[in-house]
């Protein structure tokens, strides 16, 4: 494993790659559930150049989808949620209960969906920021609610082809 640290409008992002060149983690500074850097291997800021390029395109040039190889490590349920998150359209949101229902789970599974969402190791690319509470209000986000709001604002603004504003 190796990792790179890149700049972004949200602050530094840590990209963690496998020996096979897959993205295994994308973490913001001071993110909840962020492993210690010594678990990421050696730092090499040239690691995962395609991921860095696609993130730059997302933040500055209107990229709406990512197509980088990922290595997801989690329980089968967590991986199911992380895959489903990628089906939430760019610039849109759904609720935890809505995602549970879309997966054929009981609406009461919203809490389990939220817990799996919170453990997402690849933020932004797996768009956990697109999940909101049942009333449409922002709820927990590992990178902090201001960053969640900034990502949602960015996507809504870019979807309407206006310049993005960062918090």
Does residue 83 share a domain with residue 45?
no
Beta strands in 13-158 (DSSP E): 13-17, 23-28, 42-43, 94-95, 131-132
Domain that holds residue 101: 76-159
> Comparing C-alpha atoms, which of 109, 85, 107, 6 is closest to residue 49?
6
Q: Does one domain contain both 103 and 155?
A: yes
**Res 32: pLDDT:** 83
Q: What is the pTM of this model?
A: 0.90
- Is 158 marked active-site? no
Percent of the chain exceeding pLDDT 70 equals 95
pLDDT: which is higher, 52 or 31: 52
Cα separation, 74 vs 104, in Å, equals: 20
Query: How many Å apart are CA 58 and CA 66, to the nearest integer?
Result: 9
The per-residue pLDDT for 143 is: 87
**1-47 per-position pLDDT tens digit:** 999 999 999 999 999 999 999 999 999 998 888 888 889 999 999 99
Closest to 22 (Cα-Cα) out of 57, 59, 47, 55: 47
Question: Which is higher by pLDDT, 3 or 160?
Answer: 3
* pLDDT digits 0-9 by tens, 85-113: 999 999 999 999 999 999 999 878 999 99
117: in domain:
yes
Q: Per the domain annotation, does 164 fall within a domain?
A: no
Q: How far apart are CA 151 and CA 13, in angstroms?
A: 14
Say which CATH number the domain at 103 has: 1.10.10.10
CATH of the domain at 6: 3.30.160.70
Residues 81 and 56 reside in one and the same domain: no
21, 86: one domain = no
Residue 33 near residue 118, CB atoms below 8 Å: yes
Q: Is residue 13 within 8 Å of 27, Cβ to Cβ?
A: yes
Per DSSP bridges, beta strands 131-132 and 23-28 are: unpaired
166 in a structural domain:
no
Number of structural domains, the chain?
A: 2
- Given this model, what pLDDT does residue 162 score? 45
Instruction: Kindly name the residue from 24, 88, 128, 131 that is annotated as catalytic.
Output: 128
pLDDT of residue 167: 42
Task: Answer yes or no: is 21 within a domain.
Answer: yes
């Amino acid at each position: 494993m190796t990792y790179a640290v890149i700049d972004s409008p949200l602050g530094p992002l840590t990209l963690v790659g496998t020996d096979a060149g897959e993205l295994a983690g994308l973490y913001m500074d001071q993110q909840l559930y962020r492993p210690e850097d010594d678990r990421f291997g050696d730092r090499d800021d040239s690691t995962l150049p395609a991921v860095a390029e696609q993130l730059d395109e997302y933040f500055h040039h209107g990229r709406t989808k990512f197509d980088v190889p990922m290595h997801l490590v989690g329980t089968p349920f967590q991986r199911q949620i992380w895959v489903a998150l990628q089906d939430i359209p760019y610039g849109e949101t759904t609720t935890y209960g809505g995602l549970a229902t879309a997966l054929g789970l009981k609406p009461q599974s919203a809490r389990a969906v939220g817990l799996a969402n919170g453990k997402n190791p690849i933020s932004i690319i797996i768009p956990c920021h697109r999940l909101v509470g049942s009333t449409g209000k922002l709820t927990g986000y590992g990178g902090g609610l201001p960053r969640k709001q900034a990502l949602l604002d960015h996507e809504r603004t870019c979807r309407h082809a206006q310049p993005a504003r960062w918090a």
